[in-house]
């Protein structure tokens, strides 16, 4: 891995329009040897995306607002300061319970940004 310091300040990072949120890449796979990625998710209240699973683990950390995360057969109500980790292969989705929510998504791979890029491309 080519180690270098990466700084992402407020308002910077590649931005993707996903069906249910605006996704900003804060730490991309190119800065971590594809071991993890960090995203800032800014989501309005809207219908939840259909449950889906990924082949990598991920975690959410809520900054503002409240979200309901469905992971497997369980629902989890998360507010500011709450976090959840979701194992690879687990059916999951989220819905925003407040007018909007902002949270971090951490992916244990370098593939989540490629997924967001594909979703944004499909919407254009």
Inter-residue contact 105 to 94 (CB < 8 Å): no
Alpha-carbon distance of 16 to 26, in angstroms, equals 12
pTM of the model: 0.87
Alpha-carbon distance of 88 to 68, in angstroms, equals 19
pLDDT at res. 122: 66
| β-bridge mates for residue 39, sequence order | 25, 105
Domain 16-122 has CATH 3.40.50.300: no
Q: Is 3 exposed, middle or buried (0-12, 13-18, 19+ CB in 10 A)?
A: exposed
Q: Where are the domains of the chain?
A: 16-122
Per residue in 84-112, pLDDT (tens digit) is 999 999 999 999 999 999 999 999 887 77
Per residue in 16-62, pLDDT (tens digit) is 888 788 999 999 888 888 889 999 999 999 888 889 999 999 999 99
């Amino acid at each position: 891995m080519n180690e270098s310091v990466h700084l992402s300040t407020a308002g910077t990072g590649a931005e993707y329009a996903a069906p249910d949120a605006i996704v900003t890449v804060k730490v991309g796979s190119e800065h971590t040897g594809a071991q993890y990625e960090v995203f800032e998710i800014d989501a309005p209240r809207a219908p939840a995306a259909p449950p889906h699973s990924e082949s990598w683990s991920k975690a959410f950390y809520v900054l503002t607002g409240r979200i309901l995360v469905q992971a497997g057969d369980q629902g989890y109500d998360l507010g500011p300061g709450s976090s959840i980790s979701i194992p690879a292969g687990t059916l999951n989705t989220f819905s925003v319970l407040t007018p909007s929510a902002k949270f971090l998504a951490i992916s244990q791979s370098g593939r989540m940004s490629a997924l967001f890029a594909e979703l944004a491309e499909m919407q254009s």
